[in-house]
Structure 1
Amino acid sequence: MKHKLFLICIFLSAFISNLHAQTVIAWKQGTSGGYTYKYVTGDPTHSRFYTLKNGLTVILSPTNKQPRIQAYVAVKAGSKTDPDSHTGLAHYLEHMMFKGTDKYGTMDYEKEKPYLDQIDALYEQYNSTTDEGKRADIYKQIDQVSGQAAKFSIANEYDKIMAAMGGQNSNAFTSFEQTVYEDDIPSSAIDKYLTLQTERFREPVLRLFHTELEAVYEEKNIGLDNDGRKTVEAMFAALFPNNNYGKHTTIGTIQDLKNPSLKAIRNYYYTYYVPNNMGIILSGDFNPDVMIKKVDDHFSYMKAKPIPVYSFAPEKPITSPVKKDVYGPSPETLTIGFRFPGANTRDARLLDLMGSMLTNGKAGLFDLDLTKKQLLLSANANSYALKDYSVLLLTGNPIKGQSLDEVKTLMLNEIAKLRNGNFSEDLITSIVNNEKKSIIEQNESYSNRASNLLSDFTAGVDWRADVGTINELSKITKAQIVAFANKYLTDNNYVIVYKHQGEDKSVIKVVKPPITPVDVNTTAQSPFLQSVAAIPASAVKPVWLDYNKDIQRAKSGRAELLSVQNKDNSIFRLYYRYDMGSWNSKLLPIAAQYIQFLGTKTKTAEDFSKAFYKLASSFNISAGTEISTITISGLQENFNATVKLYEDLLANCQPDEAALTALKARIRKGRENAKLNKTNIAQGLVSYAQYGPSNPFNNVLSDAELDNLKATDLVNILHQLNNYKHNILYYGPYTALQAATALTKLHSTPVVFTPYPEKKHFVKLQADHNQVLFADYDMVQAEIYWIRNEGLYDPAQAPKIELFNNYFGTGGMSAVVFQQIRESKALAYNTYASYASPVKKSDPNFFIGYVGTQADKLNEAVKSMNDLLNDMPESEKGLSDAKDNIRKSLETDRITQDDIIFNYLAARRLGIDYDLRKTTFDNLNKLDFNTIKAFHDSELKDKPYTYCIVASAKRVNDTDLQKYGELIKPDLKQIFGY
């Protein structure tokens, strides 16, 4: 995972010039509540680092801005510590840690266990057998016995318990040297959460293994379709031939996936899931003295044991470029990787500075010399810090007609500038100033605090160094940067991966053995679940928005100003919001791109980029279909200078035909790349399904219109922007009146606003028969969407829709769709369904369902979703859990900062003037299963759908597709409009 400087907590109020006078940053020891802990002086997060008697690390970072806690349970073990004969094992185990123990996830463990033991033995027999016929026979036995065992299992009981306590985002992830289990919980539910985690990590039972293995197969196949993942794997294999960073992949090899061993997985658990190799990281609303005792009481049962030390032969220096080639259907890219020391070294901490010297979005060498001058479509530098080594990755995307070798030359020339000192020393100061701003913003979030602490824990980074990083960076000189670049970024010590656009003939999909769907016992619940539910939790009073009280109002010229005051720090965010977009003018999105390449009579485009970056500020113009927003942000101390700089550029930008010519080429290349992107293709099909052949997705300039575009046309649009009616939104230290007063002098508005250009209207279609929209794409998987436009928006329906979605299709692993399609039938890694509300009152609701499956299981996947659309399974417990999740989530949901303004504007577009969450909360208990069932039957059952399918025509045949409706195969020009 990337280690980001902007997540490092620093002194929030200090200016760079005063850094040398600050408190010495050092580890100190404190005692409170009967526990001793360490902390870092000057740490604004006030994080405490405990080590319990059994070696368990506990990191607590209290903040009471929201009544919730971001919780991580981290294990310092991942794909790097997988046995060579069982790659992907850590990832397997991560999946299995959701299956329960002998106390939950089962209706009768004593009856279940003999079957599980048989399955264990059968897998060992399966793995030691080479004869394919015999292996098939053994797998039939595994399938049969698994079906018997499943009769006693309760699928997704972990997720049900979490949902009932108001948990959100329950998930886990595995990477090179960490496996992390994450939950976002109400602070009032901490006792329930700790009780569940204590049991979860006591002794997991590996049940429902063969269906979960199918999900891992799907995940592997998704990876085979991901050219970015293939590029990174090729890069790491070449950078680290001796280390498991390069020798192992997180999901594992196909051969190892086909030969799993429950015995090996269990051994891995007993080896690495021990307290002296684990950490619990909590950030949120709690008293650390109370919290540490709770954690200790729950986890003191764990016993420490020695951890195997991972050893490897040090990597030999790279003395000449190592070249690798990767093929796939997505656009071509070039990636260059340089190897650095491990994350806890000073040189690794400087990697992010090095990355920012190259790309920071405004004034890096890549930004100014390659992107701003439109010599490349894009260029980025990112660091990847790991325990043993770190990596600097440079990625470039070519413009039309450009070779990947030309991309390489351009990027390496910029690296040479670093080595030769061809950059301004002011850039270092500007980077530090921008880090200061970013860190202030990031530190506001309890979840970001926890994420940063987690990253340091698993990578072995000293938190003291993190707290002091800005202090350290402020002392860095240009000469040191030059020396650093000459030490590590030479002409010969890198790996280069050429990602070519074309067929990957090496891809071999994971062929999944046939399985019999299992009964997932969705209505059952264990005594343990009931005991957790009975643990008392303090009531939390919900907080609703009152738009009249929570939003300040003023006038700046002719514009209405809506404001929320920032009383926490010096950050401001300013928005100019227009009720017009690409439906009013297809040129507006082009103009929004064009401005970044323009200057005025007195300043170049480069001058503006440097000036914004020096002020630690930024601006962005976002042109949507019906709403366009200009966002300006920075430090309040630079408010006047930042706004003045933007207004100068907007009012005085000059046409630049050379920049437009380059932009046209850039857009053409971007269009070509979009047609090679399966996600974009799917988006186009979905828009086609909702609106027909002429739709918002393909409402773009034709190739001829693009060719005929004039620079003056775009500049005139920019010059006229302030003359169109717009609202001003402000979040910052000023009051609304202060902001309005300041803006009156900075932002001019006309006496009478210019009317918006006439809007083109797109109307969502009401389908009267089934259709299939198919797009051919070279991929292993098949991606299937169900689309249906529904009735007009009615805010009174909000509680019903919220409950239906949570129960049926969006409630995580406990939702009906997930349980039936993934858990029972193992047809997908990812699946969901949602009855979605529109963004404005005049639009209808719509339904979207999704299944990503192996192409040869398309028919099974379609049937499975269609069965659910026509007959929704009933579970009173599931509905009760859905209610609890919604209720407790709403009780602890706090809309703050500028989100208050955007919530109000969203409500206004829907024709309401109140916080809709209160309506849902007040009416939730009035809803029962009959209500939800009636909603399902009236809106979804036996209705016509449009199936949007992206898959390889080599793997999916027309005969199958035609079974589901009228088959339409729009070509890419029809989908994209060019």
Structure 2
Amino acid sequence: MKHLICPFPRLYSTLLPAALAFISLSCLAPAALAQKAPPVEQFTLANGMTVIVKPDHRAPTAAHMLWVRVGSMDEVDGTSGVAHALEHMMFKGTPQVKAGEFSRRVAALGGRENAFTGKDATGYHQQIPADKLEDMMRLESDRFAHNQWPDDEFKREIEVVKEERRMRTEDSPRAMMYEAAGATTFAASPYRRPVVGWMSDLDAMTPDDVRDFYRRWYVPANAAVVVTGDVDVAQVRRLAEKYYGSIPARPVPVRKPRLEPVQSGLKTLDFKAPASQAYVGMAFKVPKLEAGDLLDSATPAAATSPGRDALALTVLAAVLDGYSGARLERAMTQGEGANRIADSAGASNGLLGRGPQLFMLDGVPAAGKTTAQVAAALRQQVAVVARDGVSEAELNRVKTQWAASETYKLDGVFNQARELGSNWVNGLPLDASARLIAKLRGITSAEVQSVAARYFGDDQMTMATLLPQPIDPNRKPRTPAAEVSRH
């Protein structure tokens, strides 16, 4: 079993998995949406904890997720990585459950489990036989309320976290470049720090740093339990009140705003690392979708707003790189000889998140090409959209691709739970999917053309370039055996 640091598209984008899930039904008629959407209920326990339930009786299984609205963005300088370190330590016991016993008990129930840490949230999830839900809620509520461990457990586990950083970041030239680029892109936003933490902060981290973070943020009013699958809402409510409702209420700490200042000039980073290929990534600061944008029912076609722009930018990313044979692939990677500009090229947009969002363009130069040529070609494809717009056929194709993806995705109860939890983290309503689909359906070619013309100037861009250095032929690759079970 492995802990995960929540991955985001091309590391720059903080687009939550739910965002594309919402979008993917955009070509379905409202009647079809209403027919496909199972009932979802949300209620709040007396101590402030949120509970969300979505029954799905197609198979005798259930997904149980505990979401805590705290991630790396809630850390302070000098303690980067503490949210992720705490996620590891949550498997190290309570007065009732010894270190490592949590995972063994979940396995004995016939379930599987894991956890993740992201910039915006931390999540713990299990998939179990539906008749074992009470056992699972007893275990998870105990861990949430009574996590404790001796200092020696932390001293051992922080070395695992450091090794995870070495394997996933320091052994990857692109990951190291993106880490440096994140610190360059953002000045004030806590998104500038890596989720796994800087190695110097991990070296200096103490057991009490982790305990203090746990006591501060793991409070009922800052958490949500999401249950999907072969369950009954009344049953889940009864169990939630029994196991989670007994946890004492405590106030959620006040979060001070850490707003990113307006960028007023091009930022560049040349990053040298042993690598076989050069690489270029361009991040553009763009607006994000707020909960209020979904609650506002008025969508005049001629009106522009940050929320509408965020939706149009998401459509633009899909037009450029949302399906096999999309614009970037056709223009940059399918040629031969001098006409082939890149070995790969991509685009992504951060639609949702607690912090500021980015639109990302990236590419790997083909043989004989430079990163400057790739960067120019990527921006040229955006300029073509700004000049000529997008055809209705392209817009419809994007929607069809999204719909096909969603049809299969929502077959899994875990994916349903992840979507609902992501909604909650971002303060979205239960019917956020339908609301977002309605908004996306109204995005026009003119709006896509408009955002392509307005958001891709130098003043809001950070360009990071990986400059390959010779690879030491005597260097031995790190063996996967070092990444042992965290539990």
TM-score by length of 2: 0.85
Count, aligned residues? 447
Residue 236 in structure 1 maps to residue 182 in structure 2: yes
The superposition leaves residues 353-412 of structure 1 with CA deviations (integer Å, 9 ceiling, x where unpaired) of 221011122353213222333432111112233212112211111100111001100001
**What is the match of residue 460 of structure 2?**
493
Question: Is the contact between residue 417 and residue 423 of structure 1 (CA under 8 Å) also seen in structure 2?
Answer: no
Q: Secondary structure at the match of 2:146?
A: coil
Q: 1:85 & 1:784 partners in 2: Cα distance?
A: 29
User: What does the per-residue CA deviation read over 1:841-886, in whole Å, with 9 as the maximum and x for residues that have no partner?
Assistant: xxxxxxxxxxxxxxxxxxxxxxxxxxxxxxxxxxxxxxxxxxxxxx
In 2, distance between residues paired with 1:431 and 1:375?
24
SS in 2 for 1:433: helix
Amino acid at match of 1:160: R
Q: Within 5 Å, which residues of 2 pair with 1:479-878?
A: 479-502=446-469, 776=473, 778=475, 782-783=478-479, 828-830=482-484
Q: Secondary structure at the match of 2:176?
A: helix
Correspondent of 1:356 among 280, 293, 318: 318
Change (3 A) 1:61 1:395: same
For the 8 Å contact 1:419–1:482, the answer to whether it is kept is yes
> Which of 266, 271, 281 is 2:216 aligned to?
271
- CA–CA distance in 2 between the matches of 1:421 and 1:777? 52
Aligned to 1:65: 58
**Cα separation, partners in 2 of 1:212 and 1:178, compared to 1, 3 Å:** same
Please name the residue that 2:148 is paired with: 205
| 1:86–1:784 Cα change, 3 Å | closer
Contact 2:73–2:191 at 8 Å: present in 1 too?
yes
Cα distance between partner residues in 2 of 1:363 and 1:440:
21
3-state SS of paired residue (1:782): coil
> Which residue is equivalent to 2:247?
302
1:357 touches 1:427 (CA, 8 Å); kept in 2? yes
Contact 1:101–1:205 at 8 Å: present in 2 too?
yes
Q: How far did 1:96 drift?
A: 0.7
Give me the whole-angstrom Cα distance separating, in 1, the residues matched to 2:25 and 2:464: 40
**Mapping of 1:398-547 within 5 angstroms?**
398-502=365-469
Counterpart AA for 2:346: N
Q: Is the counterpart of residue 7 in structure 1 residue 18 in structure 2?
A: no
Contact 2:187 2:261 in 1 (8 A): no
Distance in 1, matches of 2:25 and 2:380, equals 36
Q: Determine the C-alpha separation between the residues in 2 that align with 1:191 and 1:74.
A: 18
Deviation at 1:329, TM superposition (A): 2.9
Aligned residue in 2 for 1:394: 361
Shift of 1:47: 2.1
Partner SS, residue 323 of structure 1: strand
Aligned to 2:346: 380
Contact 2:185 / 2:462 at 8 angstroms: preserved in 1? yes
SS in 1 for 2:431: helix
The verdict on how the C-alpha distance between 1:831 and 1:329 changes in structure 2, with shifts beyond 3 A counting, is farther
- The answer on whether the counterparts of 1:323 and 1:497 sit within 8 Å (CA) in structure 2 is yes
Alignment partner of 1:338 out of 281, 284, 301:
284
Distance 1:476 1:422, change over 3 A: closer
Q: Residue 220 and residue 321 in structure 1: after superposition, are their counterparts in 2 closer, same or farther (change >3 A)?
A: same
Quick check: 1:343–1:389 contact (8 Å CA) kept in 2? no
3-state SS of 2:397 partner: helix
1:167 maps to amino acid:
G
Q: Alignment partner for residue 171 of structure 1, among 93, 108, 114?
A: 114
- The 1-side partners of 2:45 and 2:39 are apart by 19
Q: Give the distance between the partners of 2:249 and 2:310, measured in 1 at CA.
A: 31
Offset of residue 97 of structure 1: 0.5
| 8 A Cα contact 1:276 1:304, kept in partner | yes
User: Is the 8 Å Cα contact of residues 141 and 243 (structure 2) preserved in structure 1?
Assistant: yes
**CA contact 2:55–2:229 (8 Å) conserved in 1:** yes
The amino acid across from 1:166 in the alignment is G
Q: Counterpart amino acid of 2:177?
A: T
Does 1:368 pair with 2:361?
no
User: 1:930-960, CA deviations, whole angstroms, 9 ceiling, x for partnerless residues?
Assistant: xxxxxxxxxxxxxxxxxxxxxxxxxxxxxxx
Distance (Å, rounded) in 2 between the aligned partners of 1:350 and 1:71: 34
Identify the residue that residue 254 of structure 1 maps to in structure 2. 199
Question: Offset at 1:46?
Answer: 2.2
Cα distance in structure 1, aligned partners of 2:344 and 2:353: 26
Shift of 1:784: 6.2
In structure 2, the gaps of 5 or more residues are: 1-7, 9-14, 294-306
- Rg larger for: 1
SS at match of 1:166: coil
CA deviation string 1:680-713 (max 9, x = no partner):
xxxxxxxxxxxxxxxxxxxxxxxxxxxxxxxxxx
Distance 1:217 1:10, change over 3 A: closer
**Counterparts in 2 of 1:463 and 1:499: CA distance versus 1, 3 Å:** farther
- For the residue of structure 1 that corresponds to 2:342, the secondary structure is coil
Distance in structure 2 (CA, Å) of the matches to 1:784 and 1:81: 31
CA RMSD between the two structures: 2.6
Who is 2:272 aligned against?
Answer: 327
**Residue 245 (structure 1) aligned with residue 207 (structure 2):** no
Paired with 1:425 and 1:336, the residues of 2 have a C-alpha distance of 28
* More RCO (CA 8 Å, sep 6+): 2
- Please say if 1:45 is aligned against 2:32: no
Question: Quick one: distance in 1 between partners of 2:224 and 2:145?
Answer: 15
CA distance in 1, matches of 2:392, 2:423: 30
Q: Which one-letter code corresponds to 1:293 in the other structure?
A: R
Distance in 2 separating the partners of 1:11 and 1:435? 6
1:777 and 1:831 map into 2 onto residues whose CA distance is: 29
Counterpart secondary structure, 1:348 = helix
Residue 95 of structure 1, aligned match among 70, 84, 88: 88
Alpha-carbon distance, 1:6 to partner: 3.9
Tell me what 1:280 maps to. Answer: 225
SS in 2 for 1:334: strand
> Alpha-carbon deviation of 1:458?
2.0
Distance, in Å, in 2 between the alignment partners of 1:465 and 1:239 is: 30
Aligned partner letter, 1:158: F
CA contact (8 A) 1:72 1:282 kept: yes
Note if contact 1:7-1:449 (Cα within 8 Å) is conserved in structure 2. no
Task: Please show how residues 94-173 of structure 1 align to structure 2 within 5 Å.
Answer: 94-105=87-98, 155-168=99-112, 170-173=113-116
**Structure 1's 462 and 490: CA in aligned 2 closer, same or farther, altered over 3 A?**
farther
Give, in whole Å, the separation in 2 of the partners of 1:357 and 1:349.
13
Deviation, 1:157, is 0.9
Contact 1:70 1:447 in 2 (8 A): yes
Deviation at 1:494, TM superposition (A): 0.9
Unaligned runs of 5+ in 1: 26-40, 106-154, 504-675, 677-774, 786-827, 833-978
**What's 1:184 paired with?**
127
Q: In the superposition, relative to structure 1, how do residues 491 and 387 fare at CA in structure 2: closer, same or farther (>3 Å)?
A: same
Q: Is the 8 A contact 1:343 1:461 kept in 2?
A: no
Instruction: Work out whether residues 324 and 497 of structure 1, in 8 Å CA contact, stay in contact via their aligned partners in 2.
Output: yes
Contact between 1:11 and 1:42, CA under 8 Å: does it hold in 2? no
- Secondary structure at the aligned position of 2:58 is classed as coil
Whole-angstrom CA distance in 2 between matches of 1:203 and 1:440 = 40
- Distance, in Å, in 2 between the alignment partners of 1:280 and 1:42 is 26
Q: What is the CA deviation profile of residues 14-62 of structure 1, one whole-angstrom value per residue up to 9, with x for unaligned ones?
A: x65x55xx59x9xxxxxxxxxxxxxxx7771322222222211111122
- Which digits, 9 at most, give the CA deviation of each residue in 1:306-326, with x for residues without a partner? 222333443233333211122
